[in-house]
A and B are shown apart, each in its own frame.
Chain A
């Protein structure tokens, strides 16, 4: 077990280093940050001086070494645009993104699982067909289009929900939350649905096919033969066994929810990290872009690691395998 964790950690470190190198080298070619930092009328000596002070004239390797060492300490320097430390900016924005990701995941699970179960059990019901059609839309329409459609229906036509922002937030010291106010919930509704729709579809289809698969297996037949009620068979036995892959997928998808939040955050002007990242791209704010890529990679690596460990804990066969192979 410990050897497994250590091996996974080492792999993670290699991944992080590669991402850091990619982030660093890619951004060297994305445009001249000096042009973005100063006004159009700044003289070329002032530009040259600034370039020197920021260390943009040093050799690549020196710049990367400095970058990686700082990144490991979560120090990404000062944003060119905001003139604030990047870590501070991220700390301000992280709650918004994580809350949005969390709500989307809850929405995807809370809607996806029951819908999946229903469509599996009542394959021919008209509601199942509606669910399947909706899920097709969820998969085929791009996120920004869904967001804009929702805005036009619920903000412009009906006037029920706000089209942008996070509503009123409550500052809890290190964390700002919109979940304690009515306007916060109203503001969060459309973005979380937009962001979670794809995952909901995915979960629903996954649950449906797994459920259909499980219902065909022998032990379900035996359970029925034992005279167990439909309810017990479906929810006690079938669903339970369906959920193992769902947990894995949900875990992995959480990473992409956070990463995909860029588009949703931009459409709804949700003040999270994705919006910060997109604005940074427009302004060639290299510290923010680099930090964002590394942070997202870090989330992915971390979630993967946790999922791996969870797998290990959830699936007894894995443990048995390990135990026997260790015995050799």
Chain B
């Protein structure tokens, strides 16, 4: 009887063990991207893929879910003690991959490190912000001005272990001028759901599940193999042949093939980046034009004529093959609650011709255009389409499409008359758009105010609104202010927003992947079926 009993108990135990073990069986997930994370140092480079890769290993005080809502991560909650005084309560019982305990010292260390030389994350916190340790699990932030979106970018401020960094001589992010290898660039010690098992830059990185992660895993992976594959066709082939379970980006012309293959499918959705056209409105005479003595873009009618000459549906259908959402705003509708109040002014080439005639250019004029050819999806083709659409209303555009390295070198020096650019607000908030693209450009200021307002659009009314937006802490009132600013911009025809391009991911039908509109591949939402 006892034997039977123990036997039964053992069987139950085994069964229970199996039941528990099955979700945690060895599930390997292999994925490919067109490049590699440049460094494992979480503060070395502010670039989407690198940050997205780090999000699986390191964590910030907050994190974003797949709808980009803010969730607590290493901070459990936070409160505003006064408009300039924030208190963050840290999560207890969190350990780094090497077993060290996470506490306030690590937070202080991290915020100090991101402001050091060699860090690319310095903009994530204002330089005069005081970071104060209250106790081991409470940190205060005191800002010089009220800042309702203080923590909006902190999903990307990855907390590093102070002890580990000090022990391994990695207190400072990599400095490119010294030959000293930064230990943190090739090794990682985060608190996140995955640990780095091995890494060969540009060849292969293997991650394994962090069994001690503080959160309940939503994924069932035990091992992840990441391979960069730079050639588009090879990456697609690797996905089709089942050598990888997920690959991105998939070129638009290959989407149908990936869908046609029974073992693979595509996952598409609008990205946060807005592609738009900008016009030089600051100079008295354009740098690249046959109009002498005056700048046609200073005339609001010319700007409207350009806007109305562009057939955005044709760009969407013919060039983007449906993989884009035309946009009325300079920000993705996912990031601004009141975006449905705005409509894109209609395509109207006749009105456009009339406007040009009214402005004194009945035969149009000639203008040069700058365009990247390897930065955004089909960027050069979009520019070519714009050139032919403007030709229909009599404007002759000389297109200068260049690789991004040369293109950015030229336009970031404000050496352009008409250009195509894309912008993602890193804080996922409209103020970023105002501060980088819309407010009056002041090149004499250091740092240059509104550095990416390359055409120098300027309306003091918007600047006044932007200053209110920056400090307004009531969300509804703030959204009203943002909408008002966007309305003025639209009336001024200050920019020509085109669309949000789609993300194009390809996955095997055997895996379940959640796509996040910021194009970050978050492994903790991946499940292998």
Residues of chain A whose beta carbon lies under 8 Å from any beta carbon of chain B: 30-32, 35-45, 50, 53-54, 78, 80-85, 148, 151-152, 155-156, 159, 162-166, 266-269, 271, 275-276, 278-279, 282-284
Contact = CB atoms under 8 A, between A and B. Distances in A.
Given A54-B177, A279-B202, A38 B120 contact: yes
A148 B235 CA distance: 11
9 contacts: A32-B405, A35-B405, A40-B46, A43-B448, A44-B448, A50-B176, A78-B179, A83-B185, A269-B229
Given A54-B176, A163-B243, A279-B35, A266 B231 contact: yes
Determine which residue in B35, B405, B408, B448 has the highest number of CB atoms from chain A within 10 A of its CB, and name it: B405
Determine which residue in A84, A162, A275 has the highest number of CB atoms from chain B within 10 A of its CB, and name it: A84
A35 B227 contact: no
Interface string B195-237: 0000011111000000000000000000000011111011101
Nearest to A49: B117
Contact of B38 (A81, A271, A275): A81
A156 B231 CA distance: 16
B176 A36 contact: no
Contacts of A37: 176
A164 B202 CA distance: 12
A20 to B, nearest CB: 21
B374 interface: yes
A45 B228 CA distance: 34
A31 B374 CA distance: 14
Contacts of B448: 43-44
A163 B405 contact: no
B123 interface: yes
Interface in B238-261: 238, 240-243
Contacts of B329: none
Contacts of A44: 446-448, 451
Nearest to B242: A159
Top 9 closest pairs, chain A to chain B, by CB? A31-B405, A39-B46, A43-B447, A32-B409, A155-B241, A39-B120, A163-B237, A271-B203, A284-B405
B375 to A, nearest CB: 11
Determine which residue in A41, A83, A166, A284 has the highest number of CB atoms from chain B within 10 A of its CB, and name it: A83
Contacts of A54: 176-177
Interface in B97-137: 120, 123
A45 B443 CA distance: 12
A84 B181 CA distance: 7
Given A30-B405, A83-B39, A84-B181, A279 B230 contact: yes
A269 B38 contact: no
B384 interface: no
A278 B202 CA distance: 12
Contact of B243 (A32, A42, A155, A278): A155
Contacts of B185: 83
Contact of B233 (A32, A80, A82, A151): A151
A82 B233 CA distance: 25
A30 B404 CA distance: 11
A282 B203 contact: no
Contacts of A284: 405
